[in-house]
Structure 1
């Protein structure tokens, strides 16, 4: 499964309130670490069970309302939602930590 961009607050609300886990990469175009880990996020999206988890990206500069609501203070931040609730999050370009979080939420 590929990573989809969230283009509006309404889309964000629909996605996080679904019964499928939503893994969201909060990133910025000027963020070096975001560019480094982005290909890995894409790779993990392709490997994860698509019936359980979907992968998204939010550009924090284009979607300030979403970023503020979630409380994003550093990029990249990866936040996992299900049924409108935040399950967990990881901050920083740490591939091992990100992969562990994906495995944790999928097996929960």
Structure 2
């Protein structure tokens, strides 16, 4: 009988300040979908995250969903009714920061040209 394959976890579920702080200790790039309990995480990006995970296949890329109502560090995002994505990187990876900033700038410019609202991308260096 063949052994069962262990299913890879696509994203961490962060629903406490303790799990938030644990998540920030991960190495590499962390993409966080910050959501409120009443609306849940953005379901439309799950397939995107899965595709990216399969394409890059890197232990340095992490996806997480974080409930803002349960994480003190995310208090400022409470009461929002729009998807909020946060990007965290650990260490001084200038090429990664530059790539992320330029990509987000292009996305924002395209949204404004087509009458959309400005996106706010958070690129932070985790403690």
Category of TM-score, reference length = shorter chain: 0.5 to 0.7
Match of 2:86 in 1: 79
Q: Distance in 1 between matches of 2:54 and 2:15?
A: 21
Count of paired positions: 90
Scaled by the length of structure 2, what TM-score is found? 0.49
RMSD (CA atoms): 3.8
1:58 to 63, 66, 70: 66
Segments of 5+ residues of structure 2 without an aligned counterpart are 1-8, 105-110, 112-120, 122-127
1:27 to 35, 46, 49: 35
Q: Which has the higher contact order (CA 8 A, sep 6+)?
A: 1
Larger radius of gyration: 2
CA contact 2:31–2:85 (8 Å) conserved in 1? yes
Following superposition, the deviation at residue 10 of structure 1 comes to: 1.8
- Give the structure with the larger strand fraction: 1
